[in-house]
Every structure is written in structure tokens, then in C-alpha cells.
Structure 1
């Protein structure tokens, strides 16, 4: 069991809650503990018989006992919108939705360490450390990075073997679709439906020099909307690093969430949600 169950039947916040309701201190407490407890009301309050803690990043956070905390960790890590993220990201997600308990960092760390799927599909990085060269974008959705992943074996149950992904440099928002084959007409349709109609006309797009990107149909679309199309150097994936980073995360999430090996196209929307 990851979370340490309290030695007593009452949760960790029971003394705080009782003091807020009755303004009486437990007699078995030491003077130092009583002094600390007297200062608690400024940081906690009760609403509908539930204890909340006032925070800095959020308006308030609900205090959870051990069983509730374990349920929240499981749902955030491996639930319908869980992407089996690392413990630091997991803590941030739980804080963002408005929950708290004293051992959140430790409990999330232990839970992720004991997650079987996370251990089986953990990345093995052998590349040496290097300086990062960021590509700046002047405003949201003005510059997108494109890439295609595939062929994926075995193919999905609907015959799809590829997925096409686009990442905004400014917000890191990702759009992706799965495909049986990747041709210029698919890229044009993806840009029109998923980018132009939803986020407006971008100023720049970046991709590799594959024939599905470097063709007459894509060239005509860029010319029509005055979009600057930049190509990364051949055989140098680092030239389109934003797209490669997105692919790595999506593949990692799919590996940890697929059930049969051929249902990955059905999990793509959940992977984008978790991303």
C-alpha cells in the first residue's frame, strides 16, 4: 500500500477540523503542538462539513484522508484522462484540480515507482546531455511543427498504420490524426480542418522533407494562405525537435494505455487529453 494509513481511525486533519468547530484544544497535545494548532484557522475553513485549505495557486483545496488520496492518485495517473505521467507532473495535476494532503509528494512518488506499466515502458536515454536551442514563436498558433510517425506494427484494427501530429511552438498544443497512408492530400486536409478552421492561418510551419509534406498540394495551400513552409535538414531529426518531442510523449502515453496492441488509434484522443 502506497499511502500510509493513519494509526488512528481519524484522518490527519481531524484535530484541525475539531478546533475550527469547537475552538477547544486536545488535552493530550504538547504546548508546541497546541501553539501550531492555534494558527491553523487562518489557513483552513469548513464548507458543508468538508475541510478546505486556502492556497496560493488555487482559491482553495479540499483536504483528503488516506483512502481518498489514493483514489485521486489512481484516477489522475491511470484513469480515463491519465497519461502515466511522472510524479512531479502528477503532483501538479492534483494541486491544479484542488486537492491537498501533507504527504502528497511522497505518496505520488511511491505510486509512480510501483506502477508496472511505467516501469515496463520507461524510456532508456543514452544520448549525452546537450544545450537546448529553443525556437521562439511571437504569438499563439502562429508557428506549427509537423511530423509523421509510422508505419506502426502491428497496424490498428481499422488498418491505420500512421499518425500525423502538429504542435504549436508557443502553447505546445497538439493536434493529431491516425491514417492508413500518408499523402499530400491527407496533410492538406489535416491543415485545413484541424488548424485553419480552428486556430486561424499560421505564419510558419516546420516539417521534414518527406514527399507527404514536400509536394504540389501542400505548396499550393501554403501559397494560397501566405504560409511560410520551412524544411528541416535531411537525416537530422533534431532540426524539428519540437515535433520529435511531441511524438516521444504521445508514443509513451499510448504504450502505457493500450490494451490489445491494436486499439492504439482509439486511445489517441485520450493521449492528447493526457498530453
Structure 2
């Protein structure tokens, strides 16, 4: 266990408010155990009721080791909006990740995304659609965003 996890685990205040969580591997077999914070993300779009600004889709991005959630509302789920959201919410705030995992949506699986990822040195991984273990922490985070 790394030092940060140990400090949080031993923190009396954290224990009192029950926010102590152990960092777990995201993939089967702990493939992301070697990564540090911000190096691996899972992304997908969620559809919500349209806002007054015309934004109906939300790009949801979950950091693999901690489950940290970033969101970026957009009017349309496109490759251009995906890149803009990734740059504003992940690259500018958390640095360039090593891996990004998504489903096989057309807004993720196209030449524009492939070129952008290659130019930034990011490995883009397509996970199994509609398969909860493959989506890891992403499905849990998206559940918080959906309306009842």
C-alpha cells in the first residue's frame, strides 16, 4: 500500500466520517496496479434532460485508481466534444494519462480520436459494451448522475 493510502487509512477524522477506502485494481488481474493517480481513465457519455443552454449529453470521466469523477456537458456526443472535454477536464487538470478506456461508440471509435490519442501518446482501449466488470468504476459513477 502506498503512503497516501496508509495516511488516509490511519486518519481518525477520515475513519470517523467513514470515507476511508482502499485503492483497488480496476481491471481483472490488477492490470492497472502499476499506475499512479491520473494515468488511467474510463470515459462514456450519459444522456440527461436538456439544459437551457441546449446541453443534453455529459461526458463522464472516471479516474481508475481513485474513482474521481470529472464531467463535461455538451449539446452533442461527438468526437470533437470528446476531445475538448478530455483536454479541459483531464489533461489540463490531471496531466496526460497513459490509457483511456471507452466503449465502441462512434464518438470514441473514429480516426479523429485515434489521431489525437496517438499525438498525445495515449493508449486508447475499447472495452466490452454492456459488460459491467469491463466498465469498472464508470458505471457506478454514472449511476450517481442519473435522475431517479
Same fold per superposition (TM over 0.5)? yes
User: Which residue of 102, 111, 118 corresponds with 1:207?
Assistant: 102
Does 2:42 correspond to 1:139?
Answer: no
Are the counterparts in 1 of residues 72 and 89 from structure 2 also a CA contact under 8 Å?
Answer: no
SS at the partner of 1:177? strand
Are the counterparts in 2 of residues 164 and 179 from structure 1 also a CA contact under 8 Å?
Answer: yes
Give me the whole-angstrom Cα distance separating, in 2, the residues matched to 1:170 and 1:233: 20
Question: 1:185 matched to which residue of 2?
Answer: 80
Deviations 1:208-244 (A, max 9, x none): 0000011111111110111111101234344213211
User: Which residue of 165, 175, 178 corresponds with 2:70?
Assistant: 175
Give me the whole-angstrom Cα distance separating, in 1, the residues matched to 2:26 and 2:86: 24
**Gaps in structure 2 of 5+ consecutive residues:** 1-10, 20-24
List aligned pairs for 1:1-275, cutoff 5 A. 57-58=12-13, 92=17, 134-135=26-27, 136-137=32-33, 138-150=35-47, 152-153=48-49, 155-251=50-146, 255=148
Count of residue pairs brought into register by the alignment: 129
Deviations 1:53-79 (A, max 9, x none): xxx714xxxxxxxxxxxxxxxxxxxxx
CA RMSD of aligned residues (A): 2.6
SS at the partner of 1:158? coil
Are the counterparts in 2 of residues 147 and 244 from structure 1 also a CA contact under 8 Å?
Answer: no
Give me the whole-angstrom Cα distance separating, in 1, the residues matched to 2:75 and 2:112: 19
SS at the partner of 2:61? strand
**Gaps in structure 1 of 5+ consecutive residues:** 1-55, 59-90, 96-132, 256-275
More RCO (CA 8 Å, sep 6+): 2
Shift of 1:159: 1.8
Are the counterparts in 1 of residues 61 and 69 from structure 2 also a CA contact under 8 Å?
Answer: yes
Deviations 1:153-181 (A, max 9, x none): 4x222222111110101122111011111
Are the counterparts in 1 of residues 26 and 64 from structure 2 also a CA contact under 8 Å?
Answer: no
Give me the whole-angstrom Cα distance separating, in 2, the residues matched to 1:238 and 1:156: 31
